[in-house]
Amino acid sequence: MLFTDYLDSVENTDQEARFFEELAKVKDDLAQATSVPIVGKLIRALVALEECGSVEVFKETGHYQCIEGWDISIDLDSGQFSIYPGAEHRKKILMVLALIGAGLFFLWLCRRHCRKRA
């Protein structure tokens, strides 16, 4: 489920309060990881979400755009949730990997061609 869809579904419900309780438990760990290059924006957005205290207030911040496109898997009974790249992010990652692979293949072909000439 998209993280933004989840936040919309729990807005102004009991689950919202439970989610904020679980988020408060990991806030200190998240605050230490805000400088991670790729997911740092998402982590800063999660810290801001916890500081806002409600989904309604969080939607008005600039951090809301940082969580768009991310998926969430949540089990509030056990107090666990995980956030991972959504379909849009996975598509971008596959495109980058394909370009890197094509570049390496091209370099291998060039090297092979140059060896035959020598």
Six token digits for residue 95: 């495109």
C-alpha 57/C-alpha 4 separation (Å) is 14
C-alpha 17/C-alpha 95 separation (Å) is 38
Q: Which of 2, 43, 1 is nearest to 23 (CA)?
A: 43
C-alpha 84/C-alpha 72 separation (Å) is 6
The lowest-confidence range among 29-43, 55-69, 90-104 is: 29-43
Q: Say whether pLDDT at 105 is over 70.
A: yes
Q: Say whether pLDDT at 17 is over 80.
A: yes
pTM of the model: 0.75
Q: What is the average pLDDT across 86-103?
A: 95
Rounded to 5, what percent of the chain is helix, strand, coil?
Answer: 70, 10, 20
Q: Say whether pLDDT at 41 is over 90.
A: no
**Residues 45/63, Cβ–Cβ less than 8 Å:** yes
Q: Say whether pLDDT at 118 is over 80.
A: no
The pLDDT score that the predictor gives to residue 76 is 67
Q: Say whether pLDDT at 81 is over 90.
A: no
